Amino acid sequence: MSVLTDGHSVTEEARNRTFGPLYSRNAKAVIARGLMATKSSNWLVMLSGFFEPVLFLVSMGVGLGAIVGAVQGPDGAEISYAAYIAPALLAVSAMNGAVYDSTWNVFFKMNFAKLYQGMLYTSLGPLDVALGEIFLALLRGLLYATGFTAVMGLMGLITTPWALLMVPASVLIAFGFASLGMGITSFLKTFQQMDWINFIMLPMFLFSATFYPLSVYPQYIQWLIQAMPLWHGVELLRQISVGAFTPATAIHVGYYVLMTALGMLLTTVRLRKLFLK
Amino acid sequence: MHNKAIVSSNPLADHPAKQQAVIAAKDLRKTYGDVAAVDGISFSVPAGESFGLLGPNGAGKSTTMKMIGAVTQRTSGELSIMGLDPDSHGPEVRAHLGVVPQQDNLDEELKVRDNLLVYGRYFGLPMSYLRPKADELLEFAQLTDKAKSKVDALSGGMKRRLTIARSLINEPRILLLDEPTTGLDPQARHILWDRLFRLKEQGVTLILTTHYMDEAEQLCDRLIVVDKGRIMAEGSPAQLIREHSTREVLELRFGSERNGTIGAELQGIGERLELLPDRVLIYAHDGEAALEEVSSRGLRPLTSLVRRSSLEDVFLRLTGRSLVD
């Protein structure tokens, strides 16, 4: 040990940390890297992610809404069709952004760019990397949600200040999907397997009471959809958008808190297995 | 310009504990399922030494490097890096290490200089330290004019030098180099060797794997020859050659048909014969004398060459196989 106490090195500070081998309290370096990379190359991809739900809202909400007319909102009052689907589209956008960031993006960095291998040769632990990447996904989700909520406001679809809570709620939804998505991605090795993710996402987008209420389905289908995460996100944001809170609101929030916790646990276990083998 | 110290002068150089090992491995083993990649090796490396692991592909060199680098956990045995156990103190151990992996894993989404800055941030180092350090390392790697280039615009040799520059950002006490010049052209290799030699002069402990003999002879103070996860021999390059080979080697080619059957006719020349599919090696203290004797027996090889023994011959002697196959 005497060797260690001799001679000053700038990295002494890092050595003195007394955390386990998984975490060195430096997720901010991973975040800084992500911001720098976004600045120099990825910002166009980010822009397209913002427009997608806006285009859906305009075409379905305004276009299809003209035929549909007014529909019953979560509190029983009538609202426009656009106001009905807008929170659902926000939930879908939070899901899509988080899933893209935590699956395809992570898959590429893990298997092709070997970015994580490089990071893990430094003082960073796998948990620093996971937290940093998830934070970036959430930051992106936050930007999208803020932008989309602003568009809703411009289109006159916001009628209560409660609706602003959709922004943090979207981040929670994104957190759930990002943490679980990253854990699942760690199991996948080929592009074919990655396609399974789309195979799950698309039906979830179409059938999670996004464009019409759950009551159109037979009971057992309803149960299936209620077990899936997106439905809870859609319902949560829809309730918030008109400020109609019920005990079910707490269940939706609880679902995502649990999903986030399990996702983080899975991701940490998997990273340990993958990188500290 | 390049003689400025990249790593602050070694604090251990004048210390009584100089001989203390910075790396100590005892009965180190790593198995994947039933396969033992590293099968019980022991060695220790004092501070400032340049230590090589020499062996063919699949010998267990890279696995050993990963265990030293605290990115792979050992199956059994003891390992200590700067007095710390890498399995339980991964981040702390890695803070002392610079790693140059076998394949470049530079961050292609960042520019050349940003690669150094961001990598330094991974160690938790402040920007006030990193900015001048990055410029200094770019100069060391002869990449100053490429600071703002994209990584994929660099040549193979430049990428390799950038990877080495990056590995020095935290002023490591130990530099791990896994096949540092594989895939580079001769000129790029010589530039790289020169840079590595400067680091060695500055007291950095170098651990390198290679399957190139000339590289091991140029850079290593001491090396272990590894095959199938075990240590076959240990010593300085000169010592290994002295112990396991003769001073000179006579290489003869008789054509592919005769190489295999000529053995009987060459019996008794030199100290030892090695019959390879493409050539015959005669190990002798005096290669020219051996060649004269071959001629006096009326044998006419298509080509003949007298050369000094190299680590390649040591390896052939120890394992019965050549290194690069």
Give DSSP secondary structure letters for chain A. -HHHHSS--TTHHHHT----TT--S-HHHHHHHHHHHIIIIIHHHHHHHHHHHHHHIIIIIIIIHHHH-EEE-TTSSEEEHHHHHHHHHHHHHHHHHHHHHHTHHHHHHHHTS-HHHHHHTTT--HHHHHHHHHHHHHHHHHHHHHHHHHHHHHTT---SGGGGGHHHHHHHHHHHHHHHHHHHHTT--SHHHHHHHHHHHHHHHHHSSSSS-GGGS-HHHHHHHHHSHHHHHHHHHHHHHHT---HHHHHHHHHHHHHHHHHHHHHHHHHHHHH--
For residue B174, which amino acid is it? I
B88 touches chain A (CB under 8 A): yes
B233: closest CA of chain A, how far (Å) = 28
A267: closest CA of chain B, how far (Å) = 17
Checking if the pLDDT of A19 tops 50, the result is no
Residue B115, φ and ψ in degrees, nearest 5: -55, -40
How does the average pLDDT of chain B come out, rounded? Answer: 88
B203 touches chain A (CB under 8 A): no
- pLDDT tens digit string along A20-67? 677 888 999 999 999 998 887 666 767 777 888 899 999 999 899 999
Contact between B231 and B77 under an 8 Å Cβ cutoff? The reply is no
Interface of A with B (CB under 8 A): 1-4, 6-11, 13-15, 17, 19, 21-24, 26, 29-30, 32-33, 36-37, 40-42, 113-115, 117-125, 275-277
- pLDDT tens digit string along B20-75? 799 999 999 999 989 999 999 999 999 999 999 988 888 899 899 999 999 888 99
**H or E segment to which residue B112 belongs:** helix B112-122
Helix, strand, coil percent content, chain B, rounded in steps of 5: 35, 25, 40
Which of A1, A2, A3 to mutate: most B Cβ within 10 Å? Answer: A3
Q: Which chain A residues are closer than 8 Å to B177 by Cβ?
A: none
A174: closest CA of chain B, how far (Å) = 24
B131 touches chain A (CB under 8 A): no
How many CA atoms within 13 Å lie on the side-chain side of A121? 31
Measured distance CA(B32)–CA(B73) in Å, rounded: 11
Are A2 and B17 inside 8 Å of each other by CB? yes
Per the structure block, which two tokens stand in for A67?
């035929």
Measured distance CA(B103)–CA(A143) in Å, rounded: 36
B6: closest CA of chain A, how far (Å) = 13
B125 touches chain A (CB under 8 A): yes
- pLDDT tens digit string along A151-162? 999 999 999 999
Are A11 and B99 inside 8 Å of each other by CB? no
Residue B119, SS3 per DSSP: helix
- pLDDT tens digit string along B230-249? 999 999 998 999 999 999 99
Which of A121, A124, A136 to mutate: most B Cβ within 10 Å? Answer: A121
Question: Quick one: B37 exposed, middle or buried, by C-beta within 10 A (0-12, 13-18, 19+)?
Answer: buried
- pLDDT tens digit string along B250-291? 999 988 777 767 888 888 899 999 888 888 999 999 999 999
Are A17 and B89 inside 8 Å of each other by CB? no
Checking if the pLDDT of A168 tops 90, the result is yes
Percent of chain B scoring above 90 in pLDDT: 59
* Architecture label for domain B246-308: 2-Layer Sandwich (3.30)
B105 touches chain A (CB under 8 A): yes
Higher pLDDT, B214 or A246: A246
B170 touches chain A (CB under 8 A): yes
Residue B43, SS3 per DSSP: strand
B284: closest CA of chain A, how far (Å) = 46
Residue with tokens 């690069």: B324
Residue B308, SS3 per DSSP: strand
pLDDT of residue B80: 96
Are B173 and A277 inside 8 Å of each other by CB? no
Measured distance CA(A225)–CA(A206) in Å, rounded: 11
Measured distance CA(B57)–CA(A139) in Å, rounded: 44
The DSSP annotation for B50-110 comes to EEEEE--TTSSHHHHHHHHTTSS--SEEEEEETTB-TTT-HHHHHHTEEEE-SS----TTS
For residue B175, which amino acid is it? L
- pLDDT tens digit string along A82-99? 999 999 999 999 998 888
CB-CB: which of A2, A115, A123 is closest to B94?
A123
How many CA atoms within 13 Å lie on the side-chain side of A264? 16
Choice among A190-199, A227-236, B34-43 with the minimum mean pLDDT:
A190-199
Q: Which residues pair with B233 in a beta bridge?
A: B225
* Among chain A residues, CA nearest to B18: A3
ipTM: 0.80
How does the average pLDDT of chain A come out, rounded? Answer: 86
The CA–CA distances, whole Å, from A213 to A88, A217, A225 equal 11, 9, 12
pLDDT of residue A277: 63
* Among chain A residues, CA nearest to B23: A3
Contact between A127 and A271 under an 8 Å Cβ cutoff? The reply is yes
pLDDT of residue A64: 92
In 10 A of CB B305, how many CB atoms? 13
For residue A188, which amino acid is it? L
Query: Taking the domains of chain B in order of start, what are their residue ranges?
Result: 21-241, 246-308
Checking if the pLDDT of B1 tops 60, the result is no
A22: closest CA of chain B, how far (Å) = 8
The CA–CA distances, whole Å, from B167 to A121, B47, B322 equal 9, 18, 32
Residue with tokens 């680590």: B311
B115 touches chain A (CB under 8 A): no
Measured distance CA(A151)–CA(A82) in Å, rounded: 12
Residue with tokens 């090889």: B301
What is B21-241's CATH number? Answer: 3.40.50.300
Per the structure block, which two tokens stand in for A132?
């940093």
**H or E segment to which residue B138 belongs:** helix B127-140
User: What is the DSSP code (8-state) at residue B231?
Assistant: E
| pTM metric for this prediction | 0.82
- pLDDT tens digit string along B99-108? 999 888 999 9
* Sign of the Cα pseudo-torsion (B237, B13, B65, A189, in order): negative
B273 touches chain A (CB under 8 A): no
